[in-house]
Structure 1
Amino acid sequence: MVNVILLVVCFGAGIFLQKTGRFPTATPAVLNGFIIHISLPALALLHIHRLHLDTSLLYTAAMAWCLFGAGVLFFRAIGRLAGLSRGTTGALMLVGGLGNTSFVGLPMIEAYYGKEFLGIGLIADQLGSFLVLSTLGIVVATVYSSGDLSPRLMARKILLFPPFQALVLAFLLIPVPFPDWLPLILQKLGDTLTPLALASVGFQLRLSHIRGELKPLSLGLLYKLVLGPALLTLLFVGLFGGSGTVMQVTLFEAAMAPMITAGIIAVDHDLNPPLVTLMLGIGIPLSFVTLPVWWWLLRGV
């Protein structure tokens, strides 16, 4: 409940600051820059160091990779059929193909399945959504913003992406005990992600853009909240025979709202920012309606 209230307050604060004109128009770029260079690396160092890897969670780690891969194929095909611009297609791949498996996902797991399953959410987020965004997500953002397919540029973009650098460092440091004060500092820095990201989204949100973005907005939310998790359910349960509570939580994470951080990366690469803010601004509240439905449907898995 606290996370929901925080979401509303920070989102509303962004809208308020935009309406009052007290902050410059470049505010979102500054906030996004802080998130990419400080907040995300801090979270990577903190959570990866705490991970306890288990082969039973392979489906959980693979979930975001499958969801994103299927989303790239889906939005590429739909983009061509619907005549969408490259920027719009790239934005849909990023924001429609990745779920909010941490800020929204963890509280929802606790509410519907209990605290004992929060570790599944962390695996889905850190080895899934976050790692996908730091690698394949950067590739998609680069290709659809610049059109450059040079392998050298792709490698450079990924290797110089601060959260990816932090991710690599975090894996290397897993065997090394952190001093007591370091996790506290990393947590404080990481805690800035949600308020800054939501304020940035709220600052850029223009509901007047809905009419012009209605078609891609509908397609993006349809895939993220309905088609994507349904496809993974057919794959993991119907084809591979997965079952049990861990599988339920994994698929529940697949049904989360669009990923805020993916939206930050999309906006940073100028991939249809109005559509991105609408996907987040409408998709997150809408997920509070669709998630109970998915919880009910997944009970039999």
Structure 2
Amino acid sequence: MDNLILLISCFVLGILLRRAGRMPENTPAVLNSFVINVSLPALTLLTLHQLHPQAALLYAALMAWLLFGLGAAFFYVMGKRLGLPGKTVGALMLTGGLGNTSFVGLPMIEAYYGHQALGIGIIADQLGSFLVLATLGLLVAGYYTAERPSIGAIAKKILLFPPFMALLAAVALMPVAFPPWLESVLHRLGGTLAPLALLSVGYQLRLGHLAGNSRNLALGLVFKLVIGPALLLLLFAGVLGARGEVLRVTLFEAAMAPMITGAIVALEHDLDPPLVGLMLGVGIPLSFLTLPVWWYLLRGF
């Protein structure tokens, strides 16, 4: 409960600080940069180094790939049926098909499942969401704007991404015991992720352009917060018979709000910016209401 109160407090503080004009406009960029380059790599190195490999972790790694594939198919079909512009379909794929598995996901996992479950979330984020965005996500963005990212550029983006470098280091150093002082330093640096990430998310919250976008917004959020995770629950638990904490945390990650970085890619490619802003501005606060429901439902698995 303490962790959840902290997250909500930081989210609200971000909103209030922006409204009060007490911090510079580039505050989110600075906070995001610290989280990406310091907090998340430290947390990745610490938690994955302590994680015990198990076959069930494949569910976490595959979740984002399956979710994005389902989302792309869903939004493509619905786009054809509703006559949506290509850029709107692309925006929905990049926001409704990708979950916020790091900035919101990791703090929420810690709040609902405890610190020991963060390793599962990091696997879902780094081997799932991040790689999907860096490959399929860029291809989708390029398809709807007639741009074609090169394989070399994609590979460079992946290999030089600090949290991914930390993931590789954590796996390589698994046989080596970390000294207590290093674990303490990594723990303190990693502990900055939750408050800074939620402060940044709150600071960036924008609500507007609802007129004329309500149908597309509902389409995107209903898939992201309800249909997508429900389909994965049916596949993993119903068809494959999976059970346990890895399944619960993986599906909890699948139910996260739209991914901020995916939205940034959509905005950079001018894919329906008003809708992208709404997917984040409405989706993130709404997920604070839907995630407890998913947590409750997943207790039986």
TM, length-normalised to structure 1: 0.79
How far apart are the structure 1 equivalents of 2:151 and 2:180?
A: 41
- After TM superposition, the structure 1 stretch with the greater mean CA deviation from structure 2, 275-284 or 39-48, is 275-284
Match of 1:113 in 2: none
Kept after mapping to 2: 8 A contact 1:12/1:199:
yes
CA deviation string 1:48-87 (max 9, x = no partner): 1011011244334433332233234334544565535648
Kept after mapping to 1: 8 A contact 2:134/2:158:
yes
| Letter of the 2:130 counterpart | S
| Letter of the 1:258 counterpart | A
Match of 2:84 in 1: 83
How far apart are the structure 1 equivalents of 2:195 and 2:278?
A: 17
State yes or no: 1:249 paired with 2:245. no
Residue 129 of structure 1, aligned match among 125, 135, 158: 125
| Letter of the 1:83 counterpart | L
Residue 138 of structure 1, aligned match among 134, 155, 170: 134
Match of 1:204 in 2: 204
State yes or no: 1:161 paired with 2:151. no
Q: Given the superposition, is the C-alpha separation of residues 287 and 83 from structure 1 closer, same or farther in structure 2, using an over 3 Å criterion? A: same
Shift of 1:206: 1.9
Match of 2:237 in 1: 237
Shift of 1:151: 0.9
How far apart are the structure 1 equivalents of 2:62 and 2:38?
A: 27
- After TM superposition, the structure 1 stretch with the greater mean CA deviation from structure 2, 213-222 or 10-19, is 213-222
CA deviation string 1:228-265 (max 9, x = no partner): 1221122223333x054457625642553226xx3146
How far apart are the structure 2 equivalents of 1:77 and 1:106?
A: 36
How far apart are the structure 2 equivalents of 1:68 and 1:132?
A: 10
Shift of 1:104: 1.3
Q: Which runs of 5+ in 1 are unaligned?
A: 111-117
- After TM superposition, the structure 1 stretch with the greater mean CA deviation from structure 2, 199-208 or 133-142, is 133-142
State yes or no: 1:173 paired with 2:173. yes
SS at match of 1:97: coil
Match of 1:115 in 2: none
Match of 2:109 in 1: 105
How far apart are the structure 2 equivalents of 1:84 and 1:124?
A: 37
| Letter of the 2:108 counterpart | V
| Letter of the 2:122 counterpart | Q
How far apart are the structure 1 equivalents of 2:18 and 2:274?
A: 14
CA RMSD of aligned residues (A): 3.2
How far apart are the structure 2 equivalents of 1:142 and 1:244?
A: 33
TM, length-normalised to structure 2: 0.79
State yes or no: 1:54 paired with 2:57. no
| Letter of the 2:255 counterpart | M
| Letter of the 2:128 counterpart | V
Q: Which runs of 5+ in 2 are unaligned?
A: none
CA deviation string 1:161-209 (max 9, x = no partner): 1211111122111111111111211122122222222222222212234
% identity of equivalent residues: 45
Kept after mapping to 1: 8 A contact 2:221/2:279:
yes
